[in-house]
Amino acid sequence: MLTWPAEGSTQDPEHGAKDKLMMRFFAVVIFVCGLCAVMAEPAAAQATWADRGYINVGWGVESGSSAMSDTRTSLIYEESATVTSSSTFTSGSLFDVGFGLRVFRNMVIGAAYHQEQNDTDGTITGSIPSPIFFNRPRSVTETIAGLDRKEQATHLNIGWVLPFSEKIDVMVYGGPSFFRITQDAITDVRFGEQGGAFTSLVVTPTITERKKSVTGYNVGADATYIVWSNDSIRVGAGGFVRFSQASTDIDMLTTAQPTDVGGVQFGFGARLRF
């Protein structure tokens, strides 16, 4: 079994990306606060949202893509050998639940939670020297099926409800998001000789579950149509569109590779007003 010499190189944090994310977060907070302030000015001319709070449950899809790749180089049989691990995670289905309370006029403060999960195939490519021929490396391409990625996030929101009629209203909102990502990564690769002409190799990857927590932001809108009501509650259906984002990194073969979490999310579900 061929093994790679340990290489302890670690990539420094992506300070520039984090600074940009924080600037976007503060821009979102300023935008939402400014929007609420602007809407509060003509509140006397607006319809007043009569409910005290809301509970939303929904299902949807998160649209986004994050490609990751890492390469390791070392010496095998006194020649240079390289191996590259790559994977791309794309859209997945999500579950979403949220609640909030009216605090001033049509202004609400609330929280939401979403969970999204998807899987993808990873790819291992490499160039491995021959044990019997000099300067005649063997090419390796292997597909690793079933790499999982799970995204969980809690969103804290400040919003403003715009009632268009007794049955229809739209809430615009934004605030910070707290992500927890759990992802499979190819962290090591071993090669075994098959003997004979030494033209092919047995590829044995090591799959490690990585976990990271990171802070980001979210902005969105939620529309509700009431289908039934009594003196205490109102029940309806609705849909939402939300953009949430954060950036982090995941340890792979030799270094921590950057990846984005979140994306454009949209879906529909049940609405309860009380």
Indicate whether 71 belongs to any domain: yes
CA–CA dist 180, 261 (Å, integer): 9
- Tell me the two tokens of residue 181: 């990502």
Q: What pLDDT shows up at residue 46?
A: 63
DSSP secondary structure letters along 15-48: HHHHHHHHHHHHHHHHHHHHHHHHHHTTGGGSPP
Q: Nearest-CA neighbor of 262 among 28, 16, 30?
A: 28
Indicate whether 44 belongs to any domain: no
Indicate whether 161 belongs to any domain: yes
Indicate whether 194 belongs to any domain: yes
CA–CA dist 173, 56 (Å, integer): 14
Tens digits of pLDDT across the chain (274 residues) = 565 544 443 344 444 545 555 555 555 555 555 554 455 445 445 688 989 999 999 999 999 889 999 999 999 999 999 999 999 998 899 999 999 999 999 999 999 999 999 999 999 999 999 998 999 999 999 999 999 999 999 999 999 999 999 999 999 999 999 999 999 999 999 999 887 788 889 999 999 999 999 999 999 999 999 999 999 999 999 999 999 999 999 999 999 999 999 999 999 999 999 9
Whichever domain contains 239, its CATH number is 2.40.160.20
Q: What pLDDT shows up at residue 71?
A: 97
Q: What pLDDT shows up at residue 200?
A: 87
Secondary structure E strands in 78-200:
79-89, 92-104, 107-128, 138-163, 168-193
Indicate whether 8 belongs to any domain: no
Kindly give the pairing relationship between strand 92-104 and strand 53-63: antiparallel
Domain count, the chain: 1
Indicate whether 253 belongs to any domain: yes
Alpha helices in the chain (DSSP H): 15-40
Check if the beta carbon of residue 158 is closer than 8 Å to that of residue 172. Answer: no
Element (H, E) at 68: strand 66-76
- Domain hosting 31: range is 15-38+49-202+210-273
Check if the beta carbon of residue 159 is closer than 8 Å to that of residue 110. Answer: yes
CA–CA dist 54, 51 (Å, integer): 8
Residue 124 CB contacts under 8 Å (≥ 6 apart), including other chains: 83, 84, 85, 140, 141, 142, 143, 144, 186, 189, 203, 205
CA–CA dist 119, 184 (Å, integer): 9
Which residues share a beta bridge with 272? 55, 235
Q: What pLDDT shows up at residue 196?
A: 77
- Tell me the two tokens of residue 45: 């001319």
Q: What pLDDT shows up at residue 2?
A: 62
Which residues share a beta bridge with 184? 209
Indicate whether 135 belongs to any domain: yes
Q: What pLDDT shows up at residue 198?
A: 87
Indicate whether 6 belongs to any domain: no
Q: What is the dihedral of CA 152, 156, 160, 164, to 10 degrees?
A: 30
